[in-house]
Structure 1
Amino acid sequence: MKKSTYVLALLSVILGFSCASEKSETVDYAALSEEDRMRIATDLAQQTIMVDGHVDLPYRMKVGGFTLQREILDVSTRTEGGNFDFPRSKEGGLDAPFMSIYIPARYQEMGGAKALADSLILMTERLTTTWPDKFGMAYSPADIRANFEAGRISLPMGMENGAPIEDKLENLAYFHERGIRYITLTHSKDNLIGDSSYDTTYMHGGLSEFGVEVVKEMNRLGIMVDISHVSDDTFYDVLEVTQVPVIASHSSARHFTPGFERNMGDDMIQKLAENGGVIMINFGGSFVDQDFREGNDAVREHLVNWLAENELSRTDPEAQEYISEYVAANNPFPSVQKVADHFDHIVSLVGIDHLGFGSDFDGVGDTLPTGLKDVSMYPNLIAELLKRGYSKEDIEKVCYKNLFRVWEAVEQFAADNA
């Protein structure tokens, strides 16, 4: 390539000039300096709509003691702790984090799942009424596009655990009306819908008879089916029932974590692609790196015993200092490169059209990789993908186009069957 053509192509990517796509795609990102590649990655993150399939901010607000009656967590400014707030989202280019309406499995037994879901939805809505210049609700890809143009961060919602449906199909229409646009069918325990990847009871042997009706009704209403957290049998049953593509909102590749059913096996990823679906990669250390996963289990066991022996709790200053030092010395965090390995593996299996970001920020604690500690750091991952040969178009697909394709297909099916 002539130097002048190369420079023009590089400037077109860095500055967003609308040069012919074939020129911009001739840039050899791997040959660039780390500084230039990072500048391009940051520019792509800022100028491209970026969706994340799973951010646990609503439950973080609940755990922090924030209720509709009390002062809400001010995520319009930089917060102490946590992985998400407005300034860091803007720095990282995150435009549409799916707010996880997370329902712990214990609510299946003690009751109150529907009420908790309602409270978390209201809490999410309150962010947009408290700071309407910064946040906006989003119920469709069109809403996200409009908020993006207005400079607002969209807050689409997905419900993690179908327990709030209880045993009433009509509750699906209720939650669709409340703004829920995907439902993770199970969480850590089997429920009325199907079996969980984390449970060992295999209550239904996959999707229950009620679960079959739930999937059909979700298709009819236009709610995306999320197969993160379900057992393998439940996953395959869902694909037999659904008439539209499904998503895995925050899962990674089991190839790197053998035996970890929470991640997706190669055959499952291939079946998901045949269905037209998308797997959105979880950034949690235990999801991306087997060594860290095994080390994390050992570290956790040691710390539980150490706290008991020393009659301390995790909140004690002495304990916090010890925990920090012990973790750093005994189980180093995985790297951004480990996360990118999952992208490479899935692309090798099914191509680029079935990938997205599903960080699980605010949901995986202190296990996040070095360089991906919060929502300001997506450019680090994008830069790594560029270094590995991913194109600008590839990055756009991962950021939003793949998920929008599924979402719009689900919307269209519902409209056609209304």
Structure 2
Amino acid sequence: MQAKFTLIALIVACVLIIGCTNTQTQALIPVNESTKEAAQRIAKENIIVDGHVDVPYRVEANWVDVTQATDKGDFDYPRAIAGGLDAPFMSIYVPASLDNSVESTVLANRLIDSVEAIVGRAPDKFALAYSVNDVQNNFKEGKISLPMGMENGSPIQGSLDTLQHFYNRGIRYITLAHSQSNHISDSSYDLRRQWKGLSPFGKTLIGEMNNLGIMIDISHVSDDAFYQTIELSKAPVIASHSSLRRFTPGFERNMSDDMITKLAENGGVIMINFGSGFVSPAARMWRDKMGEKRQSLIATFGEDSQQVSDFNDQYKQENPYPFASLDMVLDHIDHVAELVGIDYIGIGSDYDGVGDSLPTGLKDVSTFPNLVEGLLKREYTEGDIKKILNENLLRVWAAVETQTQRE
């Protein structure tokens, strides 16, 4: 009898040990692997999706061949390989100054041409990506995917046929507005709020984007436009490059806790922007004060005055920019995880889009392993990190594709 009980006890102990071991393999890195080594491995073994990289507009303004190493900017092929970046959404950015002009549509097409040209120059390094399957297959082939998102819906020009055209050209998300209210939506930066959210066309556009399989991006829009979009969309939506208003009070471009909660209820994802002004209250205040002083000089001396021309360099010399840190970016990720869970977080760095304001430790696309290492040090599991790096965004993209199939 004693032997029987001993055998049973041993079996139970083994089951418990196996169960614990399986749990720990999900949570812990191998004992013989340093945190830095683990971060490098995770960055290399897993797809890294970045929701917003402004390469097309950068090369439009000052052409360089990003299939090779470049001296400036935040992205090129060697640095992307070093950082493990596999699917940067190329931002087809159209400035708000071109709203309501044919040139906005012309520019959007030209920027798409430039993305296609990158692939054409180096088809062994890059490939276009029109679907989740494309991203996954390109990764297996060792190629960097270049999916595209349009930042500012101005080029649509109020035409659903033009929307179809841009879908056909590869646009897979559209940021409804940028720095000014347009024919689709009010902007978080624009005090006029002419539509009190979405325009009548904008409300129609939400359904058509669902039908076509284009993700809806609510970065840049006003709060009212966000809530109306969440109410209207039949598919999850994204914030392709936004951070948290909790850390930058009064900065409407970032998302409030209530908005993040609603986004999670919708099944969407917030992709954290790395720009110092998006993650650091000190950097945000620095920018605001700089703007106030510049406006004061304009009011006193005129916009074309020497005082205004000299102001930026002088201000920066006298008031060094307070760069954010990697830890501040991680604080934003932590808060979303605590607020709604790990399933609603992604990366939307805004590389090549926020100038020289990037945080220490995240200065270009080669530094993604630093982000992974920081997450490991904060005791995120490897499974959690995979969700942040790609799985959450790819889940949303797949859901948008599935919604299209249902229509």
Please report the TM-score for the alignment, with normalisation by the length of structure 2.
0.89
User: How far is the alpha carbon of 1:24 from its aligned partner?
Assistant: 2.3
- Partners of 1:180 and 1:223 within 8 A in 2: yes
- Partners of 1:197 and 1:261 within 8 A in 2: yes
Q: 2:79 aligns with which of 66, 73, 88?
A: 88
Which consecutive unaligned segments of at least 5 residues does structure 1 have?
1-19, 67-72
Q: 2:61 aligns with which of 52, 60, 63?
A: 63
Give the secondary structure class of the aligned counterpart of 1:53: strand
What do residues 256-303 of structure 1 show as CA deviations (whole Å, max 9, x unaligned)? 000100000000000000000000000000000111111233356678
What do residues 218-264 of structure 1 show as CA deviations (whole Å, max 9, x unaligned)? 00000000000000000000011100000000000110000100000
The alignment status of 1:211 with 2:202, answered yes or no, reads yes
Structure number, greater radius of gyration:
2
User: How far is the alpha carbon of 1:170 from its aligned partner?
Assistant: 1.5
What is the aligned-residue identity percentage? Answer: 52
Give the secondary structure class of the aligned counterpart of 2:211: helix
Measure the CA separation in 2 of the matches of 1:411 and 1:25.
30
Give the secondary structure class of the aligned counterpart of 1:52: strand
The alignment status of 1:349 with 2:342, answered yes or no, reads no
The alignment status of 1:375 with 2:365, answered yes or no, reads yes
Give the secondary structure class of the aligned counterpart of 2:88: strand
- Partners of 2:28 and 2:382 within 8 A in 1: no
2:255 matched residue in structure 1: 264
1:405 matched residue in structure 2: 395
Q: 1:45 aligns with which of 40, 43, 50?
A: 43
Q: 1:394 aligns with which of 384, 392, 396?
A: 384
Give the secondary structure class of the aligned counterpart of 2:164: helix
The alignment status of 1:114 with 2:112, answered yes or no, reads no
Q: 1:82 to 1:118 in 2, by over 3 A?
A: same
1:188 matched residue in structure 2: 179
User: How far is the alpha carbon of 1:309 from its aligned partner?
Assistant: 4.0
- Aligned 1:164-179 pairs, distance under 5 A: 164-179=155-170
User: How far is the alpha carbon of 1:76 from its aligned partner?
Assistant: 1.6
User: How far is the alpha carbon of 1:63 from its aligned partner?
Assistant: 1.1
- Aligned 1:119-268 pairs, distance under 5 A: 119-268=110-259
Give the secondary structure class of the aligned counterpart of 1:251: coil
Q: 1:303 to 1:79 in 2, by over 3 A?
A: farther
Which residue identity does 2:337 align to in structure 1?
Answer: V
Measure the CA separation in 1 of the matches of 2:377 and 2:331.
12
CA RMSD of aligned residues (A): 2.3
Which consecutive unaligned segments of at least 5 residues does structure 2 have?
1-20, 298-304
Measure the CA separation in 2 of the matches of 1:28 and 1:360.
30
Measure the CA separation in 1 of the matches of 2:217 and 2:27.
37
What do residues 339-389 of structure 1 show as CA deviations (whole Å, max 9, x unaligned)? 000001101110000000000000000110000110001111111111111
1:25 matched residue in structure 2: 26
What do residues 319-342 of structure 1 show as CA deviations (whole Å, max 9, x unaligned)? 6xx777555xx3331100000000
- Partners of 1:303 and 1:323 within 8 A in 2: no
2:301 matched residue in structure 1: none
Give the secondary structure class of the aligned counterpart of 1:22: helix
Give the secondary structure class of the aligned counterpart of 1:25: helix
Which residue identity does 1:124 align to in structure 2?
Answer: V
Structure 1 range deviating more: 103-112 or 89-98: 103-112
Measure the CA separation in 1 of the matches of 2:337 and 2:157.
38
Q: 1:303 to 1:201 in 2, by over 3 A?
A: closer
Measure the CA separation in 2 of the matches of 1:274 and 1:359.
24
Which residue identity does 1:291 align to in structure 2?
Answer: A
Measure the CA separation in 1 of the matches of 2:36 and 2:294.
38
Give the secondary structure class of the aligned counterpart of 1:112: helix
1:8 matched residue in structure 2: none
What do residues 22-49 of structure 1 show as CA deviations (whole Å, max 9, x unaligned)? 34234279xx99x921111111011100
Which residue identity does 2:55 align to in structure 1?
Answer: L
Q: 1:106 to 1:21 in 2, by over 3 A?
A: farther
- Aligned 1:97-108 pairs, distance under 5 A: 97-108=88-99
Q: 1:332 to 1:137 in 2, by over 3 A?
A: same
Measure the CA separation in 2 of the matches of 1:181 and 1:311.
40
Q: 1:303 to 1:375 in 2, by over 3 A?
A: farther
- Aligned 1:329-344 pairs, distance under 5 A: 330-344=320-334
Which residue identity does 1:397 align to in structure 2?
Answer: K
Q: 1:181 to 1:269 in 2, by over 3 A?
A: same
2:4 matched residue in structure 1: none
Measure the CA separation in 2 of the matches of 1:266 and 1:248.
13
**How many pairs were matched up?**
380
Give the secondary structure class of the aligned counterpart of 1:367: coil
Q: 2:353 aligns with which of 359, 363, 370?
A: 363
- Partners of 2:276 and 2:359 within 8 A in 1: yes
Q: 1:260 to 1:225 in 2, by over 3 A?
A: same
User: How far is the alpha carbon of 1:111 from its aligned partner?
Assistant: 3.4
2:289 matched residue in structure 1: 298
- Partners of 1:101 and 1:160 within 8 A in 2: yes
